[in-house]
Amino acid sequence: MPANELHQLTIHEAHKLLKQRKISSTELTKSVLKRVAEIEGKVHACVTIVEDIALKEAKKVDNYIKTAHEITPLTGIPTLIKDVICTKGIRTTCSSKILENFVPLYDATVIEKLKAQKAVIVGKTNMDEFAMGSSTEHSAFFPTHNPWDLSRVPGGSSGGSAAAVAADETIYALGSDTGGSVRQPAALCSVVGLKPTYGRVSRFGLVAFASSLDQIGPITKDVTDCALVMNAIAGYDSSDSTSVPYPVPDYTRQLIPDIKGLRIGIPREYFVEGMQNQVRAALEAAIDKLRELGAEIDWEVSLPHTKYALAVYYVLAPSEASANLARYDGVKYGFSERDASNVIETTERTRQFGFGLEVKRRIMLGTYALSAGYYNAYYLKAQKVRTLIKQEFDQAFEKYDALVTPTSPIVPFKLGEKLEDPMQMYLSDICTLPINIAGIPAISIPAGFADNLPIGMQIMGKPFSEEILLRIAFAYEQATNWHKRKPPLL
């Protein structure tokens, strides 16, 4: 492969070439940086690019590789990180004006883990402000465009990460997923995105949106890469009290093209009203393929509490957000509006000018749901329904190894199309929200196209069943070619 096309490689392909010393990390990083320079003007996936830091690191890694006996799968491989994950010395904005100049003094645990593998961080990706949104249009800086059709959204909130991976502006990326923010943009950009089990990956250094739902996950070009990134980032962390002390398996172990005898259920509630016909048809064909590959498919599954998931999410997530975002008071860090006569006014004006409209909407919804007199009617009730949703999944997973659904009921929509209608925007995540509510893992993989616009399939499983999800995803990927298609850019 010519040196100027190396950005097209997957992690496992690049790793092989690095190990054989056929390419260097510097060449690989330069190819990625060149690609970014060429197409960022169209895609706008990145908030910050740290060319000097990346090239310096790549050079260091190249010196290391010269004498090393073994290198880890991520050694020397460039990556982009969603701008909600703290990177020491690199600006971390959450695509918000309030954190526009915030430079963290420490690395998130996932970043420490990537650095321990000698990964090369190239920059930070655009997102909906504080991860609130499904289109990346709520970024305070600029919207990201979908590489498959630049007039459409890449999904969100990790739209920058997903668009960058799809457009080969990086070899892989990290995102975060509170209600679908890794999987929905992965689906809309035709890449792989995994939301791990709650507690599987440390949240330390992930700027909090809704702490009981947030989880960091990989966005990659194929399933093998997803497993490799999981190997690097999963595991217990004493700095995150909700991380779980289970041993981390080798997630590549079950990447075998065989799913014979696995029981897969298709919950009918996910084939929702308003779902596009071509999405339905693609999903039916994908499920047929799983059957051909030996899975036992049951179309008669029902999860009746699914219909409450959207309401539950939009009580719980804003409630937690309203508490988490109270820290932005313009005193300790971040943007501060000092043109005020007293401290109350400073806080008020800081938030007035620092937060965008969607963030303010969430804070108001959450504050309302938590206020005296309404707490029982909204927050407490939503918590109870959350338990019912979780129990329903537990029961389903007594019978099935996995459940399969569309990731998004629709293909990427036009920029601006849903911006004025929050309810329509919220409905984008109808198939992904229940998974966060239940704390279970789910992966989205490419499953076809409707008029050249990507369609994703979601595979979910019981807590800590990531290996099974990856196995099903891998078998499907090996039997299809969707993941090999590239967007018609340049």
Active site residues: 82, 157, 181
Nearest Cα residue to 246 out of 194, 211, 197: 197
- Select the span of 61-69, 173-181, 223-231, 437-445 touching ligand GLN (CB under 6 A): 173-181
Q: Tell whether residue 157 is a contact of ligand GLN (CB under 6 A).
A: yes
* Site for ligand GLN contains 439 (CB under 6 A): no
Site membership for ligand GLN, residue 179 (CB under 6 A):
yes
What DSSP element (H or E) covers 449?
Answer: strand 442-450
Site for ligand GLN in 199-258 (CB under 6 A): 209
> Is residue 171 exposed (0-12), middle (13-18) or buried (19+ Cβ within 10 Å)?
buried
139 lies in the binding site for ligand GLN (CB under 6 A): no
| DSSP states of 250-279 | -TTTT--S--TT-EEEEEGGGS-TT--HHH
Q: Quick check: 315 and 382 in contact, CB under 8 A?
A: yes
User: Among residues 8 and 211, whose Cβ is nearest to ligand GLN?
Assistant: 211
- The Cα 329–Cα 335 span in angstroms is 9
Tokens 């007293």 belong to 342
Strand partners, 296: 263
Question: In this chain, which stretch among 18-26, 52-60, 129-137, 263-271 interacts with ligand GLN, using CB under 6 A?
Answer: 129-137
CB of 425 to ligand GLN, least distance (A): 7
Residue with tokens 């992690």: 11
> Which one, 209 or 476, has the nearer CB to ligand GLN?
209
Count of positions on this chain that bind ligand GLN (CB under 6 A): 13
- Per-residue HEC secondary structure of 340-367 comes to CCCHHHHHHHHHHHHCCHHHHHHHHHHH
Q: Any contact of residue 132 with ligand GLN (CB under 6 A)?
A: yes
Q: Of the two residues 181 and 231, which places its CB atom closer to ligand GLN in the complex? A: 181
Q: Retrieve residue 429's tokens.
A: 């995540």
* Cα separation, 413 vs 405, whole angstroms: 20
Strand partners, 219: 173, 193
The C-alpha atoms of residue 360 and residue 356 are separated, in whole angstroms, by: 6
When asked if residue 444 is in the footprint of ligand GLN (CB under 6 A), the reply is no
Q: Is 366 in the site for ligand GLN (CB under 6 A)?
A: no
Candidates 3-11, 142-150, 174-182, 365-373: pick the segment binding ligand GLN (CB under 6 A).
174-182
- Scanning 38-46, 131-139, 343-351, 461-469 for contacts with ligand GLN by CB under 6 A, the matching segment is 131-139
Rounded Cα distance, 436 and 445, in Å: 18
β pairing state of 263-267 and 402-406:
parallel
- Residue number, 147 or 159, with CB nearest to ligand GLN: 159
Check binding of 134 to ligand GLN (CB under 6 A): yes
Tokens 């190396």 identify what position? 6
Give the contact letters, 66-85, x = binds to ligand GLN (CB under 6 A), - = no: --------------------
Closer of 248 and 275 to ligand GLN (Cβ): 275
Residue 317 makes contact with ligand GLN by CB under 6 A = yes
Position 174 contacts ligand GLN (CB under 6 A): no
Position among 73, 104, 123, 133 found at the interface with ligand GLN (CB under 6 A): 133
Q: How far is the CB of 399 from ligand GLN (least distance, A)?
A: 28
Residue ranges binding ligand GLN (CB under 6 A): 131-134, 157, 177-181, 209, 317, 429
